[in-house]
A and B are shown apart, each in its own frame.
Chain A
Amino acid sequence: MKAVRFGYVTAPVLGALWCFVIAVTVAVAMSFATGAPFRPTLLALPWGAVLGVAALFGRTVFSAAALAVALLGVLGLGPMASDAVGIIALAIGHGAVATFTALGLGKMTGELRMGALTRHEFEEAVIRFLTGFGYIFFTAIVVIPFYVMVMTSLKNQSALMANPLDFSLDLSRGWHLFDSYFELMTQYNFGSYLWTSFYISVLTVLITLAFAIPGAYAVARLRFRGQAMFSRSILLIYMVPMIVLALPIYIAFSMTGLRNTIFGIVMIYPVTTIPVALYMLQGYFRGLPSEVEEAGLMDGLSRLAVIWKITLPLSLPALASVSLYVFMIAWNEFLLAFMLLDDPSKFTLTRGIASLNSSEIPRQHLMAGSVIATVPIMLLFLGLERFMTKGLTAGSVKG
């Protein structure tokens, strides 16, 4: 370990690794953006090492080295190779590789020098490298599937087959870019699925709250025999896998004619969400100061009035996050909708998308359906993200 802790070892090693990471990232990004062949080469390692060492010799040397790497790239000897690419893409691509490598390395090697390093300086540099790598890595893995989803929905099947990497949009098509969305809405009834999903989710939220609020209050505040056992069994019920329940529910619904009805779905969804809502809410209720409620009781309010007038207004943020979470579960629910709904006029969005998964229906329709299902929940979530984060963590597991 000690041997690595010298500036002339640490800097080139980090430089080589970082340059390779950047070359891969830029190559992938440029391929996805233009469809042209960009690929990282192993030359990224030596050039990165050179850059790393150069970073130890001050700004001028470092900038010159970065410029040299960019020029080498354009000449075809850089960290990233590309053939038959337009001059603008070439400049942007290799410029980006050199710039980002230099920017990152500048930050990493800020405290390094040629000679021996303290443990602190060495680890700081490594952590900076890992941080940079982490941001790129996580952003890439999260963004790429969604990017592919959106872009595929805007293209057509033959263009995708011809070059699966070419996600560039033909802007001259204008509004025809959104053809698959129009077709879904007009021919595949997605407008009605959207509405069904929406009102089923809202009903689920309302019913869940109506059941969970009194229950959570009882578990959190009132003393009764079996209270401790109760708060445990709630969690236990939440752990029962849906597929185990889906089987008898399917049988019962087939026999009573509730299969293929929205009513059946609205009956079943809240029960799957009540346990988790109850658990989250009781965690929050426990955290509220009981003195306020006791003051209300002393002033002559009944328990129910205390819940209505004191506890609920105080726990609005928790109610918001529970509602959001329940809405999300109901909106995204797939298994029950898939098993219980067969009639296309009653499909929810998820069930509707499942019905698009056939070889006769072009891929862009499937992806457009996915986008339609994803966008509303994303928007809702981004708008209320603060509540979601707080509620999920505060309620579910203490700590």
Chain B
Amino acid sequence: MTDLTPPTGAGPLGRREARLAWGLLAPTLIAVSLVVLLPLLAVFWISVKPVGLADLRPPTPIVREDIRGDLEAEGDEAVLRYRLRNSSQDQTITDVVLSDAWPDGLLPGALDPRCTIADARLSCDFGDWEGGTRDEIRIPVTATAAYLSGPGAEASDPVLSGDASNILTNFDFTLENFTQIFDGGEFWAVFGITLFYTVFGTLGALIMGLFAAMLLNKSFRGQGILRGLYLFPYVAPVIAVAFAWILLFDPFSGSANALLLQMGVSSEAINFFGERPLALIMVTLFEIWRYFPLSFLFILARMQSIDTDMYEAADMDGASPFQKFRYLSLPQLLGILSVLFLLRFIWTFNKFDDIFLLTGGNAGTRVLTVNVYEQAFALSNIGAGAAVAVVIFCCLLLFSVFFFKLISREEGL
């Protein structure tokens, strides 16, 4: 009796298809892992290392060579001098060796015991250097006829080699970065600010987007122009619009303040981006202003794909406009609204440029992402910056779990 079970595993065709698929994906995979996954691993690595901005240049031995005296005629005497130092003030360099070509016909006087001359090369062995070590080698020399016709002593660059342990690649680990960022109330203040900014920025942009989409969800003359116009905040370079906002709300020469004063709303100039609760509200408003177009675009697209039959049926049944919105449009839009909410939530959480440009994280607007920059570059503590980045990444993982749960339900991906 022949075996009638269906074939298991992939057939040759299937295997070929899979091979092709991986071949097509390979460039992307390689590029993405080089620039995304590798840096991510690096962030985790750096976050447990005591790295400062200055440590990015590993300690190196440095040498300067000069000749004291003139070697212009036969028998002239001079001193060949090498000045050496450790570039780092606190790190040790081991096995420091100086090596330089020794010019033809130059007669050395008393040689430093650490140095030897062999095969027309000078080499000196210094052993280990503590941080901040300085040293000097002086060799009295006499010129002969052969030297004067050849290249000078300074013609060849001295080579100095040594092994330094690089803080980035050694195996010293510390949890100090994490204890430092979680220490004190500062971290939780930053976290609270981030949450405020993210939640209200996202909700605001979503509601504004919904409102704008409802305005434009009917055809009239000039609809295309208005739609293009309403997308401007999203399309313009963030740096341009951020500076325009700063100028507009400047406490001394800003038009907004002048307007408020003139209309009698406020009696003195308001420092919109410089006062404590106000600055946070302003950056949140900026976020809403800049990203409502995106929500508006998605919501409008969804609205236009809703079947009009339903509305006709509702009209027949005598539904009022608000009832139609509440009981027909809103349920239809719920899917896109929740997807947009999570997407925007994550992106707003990740936002750096906007706040950095508007306030630089001052006046109570320092969110987590700005804190990464602040720790790493302003405080020169790259390790702490990376630790904050790790915290951000963990939050992100948490959000994306929710997101994928939702999106699987929404579009069966």
Residues of A within 8 A of B (CB): 27-28, 31-32, 37-40, 119-120, 123-124, 127, 131, 134-135, 138-139, 141-146, 148-149, 152, 160-161, 163-165, 167, 210-212, 214-215, 217-219, 222-225, 227-228, 230-232, 236-237, 239-245, 247-249, 251-252, 254-255, 267-268, 270-272, 274-275, 278, 303, 328, 331-332, 334-335, 349-350, 353-354, 357, 363, 366-367, 369-371, 373-374, 377-378, 381-382, 385, 388-389, 392-394, 396-399
Contacts and interface: CB of A to CB of B under 8 A. Distances in A.
Q: Which 5 pairs across A and B sit closest by C-beta, in order of nearness? A: A241-B350, A370-B240, A248-B42, A393-B301, A214-B24
Given A241-B369, A241-B393, A242-B352, 4 more contacts: A165-B255, A222-B24, A244-B40, A399-B339
B1 interface: no
A239 B346 contact: yes
Contacts of B232: 142, 146, 378
Nearest to B352: A243
Contact of A236 (B17, B31, B252, B400): B400
Contacts of A143: 229
Secondary structure of the B side of the interface?
A: helix
Interface centre among A37, A138, A369 (most CB of B within 10 A): A138
Contact of B36 (A142, A237, A382): A237
A270 B31 contact: yes
Given A240-B393, A382-B228, A131 B18 contact: no
Interface stretch (B109-117, B121-129, B384-392): B384-392
A44 B352 CA distance: 43
Given A138-B215, A392-B297, A218 B247 contact: no
Contacts of A370: 237, 239-241, 243-244
Nearest to A121: B320
Interface in B177-211: 211
B157 interface: no
A366 B413 contact: no
Contacts of B262: 31, 37-39, 165
A255 B321 CA distance: 63
A94 B288 CA distance: 33
9 contacts: A119-B320, A134-B212, A161-B252, A164-B255, A251-B56, A382-B228, A397-B343, A398-B410, A399-B305
A373 B413 contact: no
A254 B322 contact: no
A212 B27 CA distance: 9
A389 B235 contact: no
Interface string B219-256: 00000101111111101111111011101101011110
B42 A222 contact: no
Interface in B283-297: 289, 294, 297
A375 B243 CA distance: 15
Contacts of B159: none
B335 interface: yes
B28 A161 contact: no
Contact of A332 (B237, B263, B321): B237
A270 B28 CA distance: 10
B39 A248 contact: yes
Interface centre among A124, A146, A239 (most CB of B within 10 A): A239
B32 A142 contact: no
